Amino acid sequence: MTTKVLVLNGPNLGRLGSREPDVYGATSYTGLVDRCTALGAELGLDVEVRETNSELQMVEWLHQAADAKTPVVINPGAFTHYSYAMRDAAAQRTAPLIEVHISNPYARETFRHNSVIASIASGTIAGFGLGSYELALRALAEELTTR
């Protein structure tokens, strides 16, 4: 039996490959989805990758994950820095939740140094490009097997 995992992405992440490739790389969003689902299958995880520019949608997905006890890997995008609604939804988690970022927020503009979700996440992985997602999925798989 495989464990369902949601990989949730916030604003502008659907533009991977064309959005600031010097910061976010040249791989498209479809490439990210393919990498996450392939690694998930190797790890025995049924990974579903989603992306939204809507704070409401992100909150609803986090509520669904909490209700279903579904583990989450989340890249909140810009919501990271100010969305208390998203933070409060994520705080209701009933399974591990790992925050990821493609770039290292602390090496960028000052406003990116604050994460409202970090304090309620199981952990945060940042600065390894799309590898941040792979590291998060591996950490999640390890967490689930040691519970």
Provide the 3-class DSSP secondary structure of residue 96.
Answer: coil
Q: Which residues are catalytic, by number?
A: 24, 101
Residues linked to residue 47 through DSSP beta bridges, in sequence order: 5
Question: Residue 81, annotated ligand binder?
Answer: yes
Cα–Cα distance, 65 to 130 (Å, whole number): 23
Half-sphere exposure of 26 (CA within 13 A, CB side): 0
Q: Which residue has the tokens 């939740």?
A: 97
- Is 103 annotated in a binding site? The answer is yes
112 is in an annotated binding site: yes
Question: Residue 88, annotated ligand binder?
Answer: yes
8 Å CB contact between 123 and 99:
yes
Question: Do residues 98 and 136 lie in contact, with contact meaning Cβ atoms separated by under 8 Å?
Answer: yes
Binding-site residue set: 75, 81, 88, 102-103, 112
Binding-site residue set for substrate: 75, 81, 88, 102-103, 112
